[in-house]
Amino acid sequence: MIAKKDIYNDFSVIDLFCGVGGLSHGFFLEGIKVMAGIDSDKTCKYAYEKNNHAKFILEDISNINSNDINEYFLNKKKRILVGCAPCQDFSIYNQKNNKSGKWKLLKEFARIIEDLQPEIVSMENVPQLRNYEDGDVLNEFTDILSRHYNCTPEVVNAQEYGIPQRRKRLIILACKKDKGRIELITPNEFRLSGYKFIRNVKEAISHLAPIQDGQVYEKDALHRARKLSEINKKRIKATKEGGFWRDWPDELILDCHKEEKGKSFGSVYGRMKWADVSPTMTTYCVGLGNGRFGHPEQDRAISLREAAIFQSFPDSYEFINPNENFAMMTIARQIGNAVPVGLGRVIAQSIKKHIENSNYE
């Protein structure tokens, strides 16, 4: 009989829409072999391969078939297919303004699952997907899975799992019908596994060296903050911890906020609170005017490294290719789009627990 610790050697992972590897890194840290990640964004290649010891495949999912993907799984290994289809079109804003049809990528994900028939599947996305087009998009996806799999959709709050960010996510775990169900592990189980819970902003980033706006910390190129205009320097200095533009004197307030419809905009030009978790990291997470992304104490927006830490990437995670020029907002987009590494570990541990309790020999 195979010892439990050796069971995971029979499985390997392919990550669709992998980005810079937040989800893959969760599996990597949990000891499940990640073979490759597939994404159409070439800027993600360096970080993905450098940190996950897996191959980055530059390809649009719409142009790839199950046979192509199957070649990247190890021979005779049981297959785990995971991914997070780009979710901007399912956000609250884009539900009102959607014209691009990127939700079709979820259909492509379902097509690949149907053709490939991996042993285990995981899909992660925003909770708003449940309501998109009256739920038809998610229902179509789960209906396809249900032909061959037992699937368990669940909305989780990342901060309950020790991730220092206000972020809710929809997670679907699926396995073949003769293997029972995969249940998401509880926050307490995750804590008992040894994962270090971070409860607030102070525990997450207070160990980092102080920097000014426009400065790069000499020992970590990712610990850099955007340069502020003179007016925005005055605005951040006038903002108290946990506050926002209503703290300012009248001469600093934007005209749009003085209008009646703008008085309710409380989520911009804000500072974080030391004793609270961060707001949801977005693709604009290092911009002062794009949300509550001001540092709690220092007169600047958060740095790229701080944003990555709120996404539960290890401090040592490398995003910058030393041999190439890069744009700060490109990396901010990569970080904001990523699956938090901590949630990747939650998914991986849930799958490991399922494997231990099921007959996969």
pLDDT of residue 97: 46
Cβ(34)–Cβ(345) below 8 Å? no
Element (H, E) at 114: helix 104-116
Backbone angles phi, psi at 170, to 5 degrees: -95, 125
How many angstroms separate the CA atoms of 26 and 169, rounded? 16
What are the structural domains, with CATH classification, of the chain?
A: 4-198+339-356 (3.40.50.150), 199-311 (3.90.120.10)
Is 44 a residue whose pLDDT tops 80? yes
Tally of CB atoms within 10 A around 82: 28
Using the structure block, give the residue that is written with the tokens 């829409």. Answer: 17
pLDDT tens figures, 187-210: 999 999 999 999 999 999 999 999
In order, the DSSP letters of 49-110 are HHHH-SEEEE--GGG--HHHHHTTSPTT-EEEEEE----GGGSHHHHHH--S-TTHHHHHHH
Q: Which two tokens stand for residue 25?
A: 């890194």
- What's this model's pTM, rounded to 2 decimal places? 0.92
| 14 band by pLDDT with thresholds 50, 70 and 90 | very high
| 331 band by pLDDT with thresholds 50, 70 and 90 | very high
Q: Which two tokens stand for residue 295?
A: 């540092």
Q: What is the mean pLDDT of the chain?
A: 89
Task: Tell me whether residue 144 is exposed, middle or buried, using C-beta atoms within 10 angstroms of its C-beta: 0 to 12, 13 to 18, 19 or more.
Answer: middle
| 135 band by pLDDT with thresholds 50, 70 and 90 | low
Which residue is catalytic, options 18, 44, 87, 151? 87
pLDDT tens figures, 101-134: 556 788 899 999 999 999 999 999 988 887 765 5
Helix (H, G, I), strand (E, B) or coil at 3: coil
How many angstroms separate the CA atoms of 204 and 23, rounded? 20
Q: Would residue 87 show up in a list of annotated catalytic residues for this protein?
A: yes
Start-to-end C-alpha separation, the chain:
9
Q: In what order do the strands lie in the sheet with 120-125?
A: 55-58, 33-39, 11-16, 78-83, 120-125, 168-176, 149-157
